[in-house]
């Protein structure tokens, strides 16, 4: 599902850094959507979860922006419809998951 770049010489990257970033995003999803601490979120989609409504979506966006120190533009706010899409969008803002 996810791949990690273990090549040497990449400051702040590699498996440990990537796992930390993924876990930060997972925790942000769980907290924002009021999910249990062990809830799987990697395959979560907007339409598949009752707690992910329009209000929770804006809370999630704000939490992601705060957690990763980014400002997500309007098109990306609209397009953020899954955990995987959140990873892709954050990649545009310099957050590296190597996935």
pLDDT per position as a tens digit, 19-46: 889 999 999 999 999 999 999 999 999 9
pTM score of the predicted model = 0.80
> What domains are there in the chain, each with its CATH number?
15-92 (1.10.1200.10)
- Whether residue 44 contacts residue 83, with contact meaning beta carbons closer than 8 Å, is answered with yes
Q: Which residues pair with 82 in a beta bridge?
A: 45
Over the stretch 63-82, which tens digit does the pLDDT of each residue have?
A: 999 999 999 999 999 999 99
- Rounded distance, CA 40 to CA 78, Å? 23
């Amino acid at each position: 599902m996810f791949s990690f770049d273990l090549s040497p010489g990449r400051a702040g990257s590699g498996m440990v850094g990537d796992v930390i970033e993924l876990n930060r995003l997972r925790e942000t999803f769980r907290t924002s959507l009021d999910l249990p601490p062990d809830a799987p979120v990697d395959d979560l989609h907007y339409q598949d979860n009752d707690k992910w409504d329009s209000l929770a979506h804006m809370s999630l966006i704000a939490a992601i922006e705060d957690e990763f120190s980014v400002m997500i533009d309007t098109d990306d706010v609209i397009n953020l419809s899954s955990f995987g899409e959140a990873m892709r969008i954050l990649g545009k803002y310099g957050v590296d998951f190597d996935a």
